[in-house]
Structure 1
Amino acid sequence: MAGGTYTLLVGLSRPVTLDVGALGEVALDAGWYGYTGSALGSGGFSRLDRHREVAAGERDVRHWHVDYLLGNDAATVAGDVRTAAEVECAVARQLPDAVPGFGCSDCDCTSHLTWAADESALRAAVEGAHRAASDGR
């Protein structure tokens, strides 16, 4: 796949409070988070490599809300779900909101971050949201 929509699956080992740029202070519980974004430019899904570099501490620059989460030492990227279509908002709207305003400053969605207590529940919800969005529901 050259590009499309992705949801990063991120484990948070303990509760944290993040200062997320213009969004301000955000308190997150331990658990599993899914961040939905788009990778539509010329680099396509290589954007995920950049996210993984932030999570590994190889990049310090914070461009997007998710960078503040990924840059915290309690966060670990466990994988991603991808769809080769421009369905970012449709996917995000299928999932429960974790933090209002997170990752959606350029659209009218409530949030692009979701939460689940465990990885398997998060993965199932995210995969279902990608299927539904790509089916046009």
Structure 2
Amino acid sequence: MINPLHTLYAVHLKIDQAAAITVGKLGHFHLKEGTYIYVGSAKKNIQARINRHLQLEKTIRWHFDYIRPFGSITKIITYEHTIGECLLAEKLRKQVGGVYPIKGFGSSDCRCFSHLIYLRKAQAPC
């Protein structure tokens, strides 16, 4: 059971083969192979949101849904809401030495560059 104070999550997605994708209105992108971390939030029922992200067959609703079929989820970590989704994304990016590969990904309701992080180095994500 997930702690009820946890409304933030980080999904670690491993992409084994580069792919060309279209992410809704954001446009066309090239995903490199490697590990990506997507930071999101669910104010209500985080377990349902996580379960949805684990599914491959679903209606596309969020940016993450566009890249999900191209990789395998290696882990999902939940966090307390106190830091906020934007600060968590930036904290994780710095912690893993990652970059933001797609402008606006997961951040259409804030001013962040992105909530998707790409790990440049072959390293174990946090």
TM-score, normalised to structure 2, is 0.84
**Aligned-residue identity in percent:** 28
Contact 1:5 1:37 in 2 (8 A): yes
Which residue in the other structure is 1:65 paired with?
63
SS, match of residue 107 in structure 2: coil
CA contact (8 A) 1:4 1:45 kept: no
Q: Which runs of 5 or more residues in structure 2 are unaligned? A: 94-98
In structure 2, distance between residues paired with 1:40 and 1:118: 33
Residue of structure 1 in register with 2:108 after alignment: 105
Q: CA RMSD in A?
A: 1.4
Quote how far apart the aligned CAs of 1:71 are. Answer: 2.3
What's 1:78 paired with? Answer: 74
TM-score under structure 1 length normalisation: 0.77
Helix, strand or coil for the counterpart of 1:71? helix
State the match for 2:41 in structure 1.
Answer: 38
Residue in 2 that maps onto 1:88 = 85
In 1, the alpha carbon distance for the partners of 2:72 and 2:123 equals 12
Q: Runs of 4+ in structure 1 displaced over 3 angstroms?
A: none
In structure 2, the CA distance between the partners of 1:118 and 1:45, relative to structure 1 (3 Å rule), is: farther
Unaligned runs of 5+ in 1: 125-137
1:118 aligns with 2:122: yes
2:96 alignment counterpart: none
What is the total number of aligned residue pairs between the two structures?
A: 115
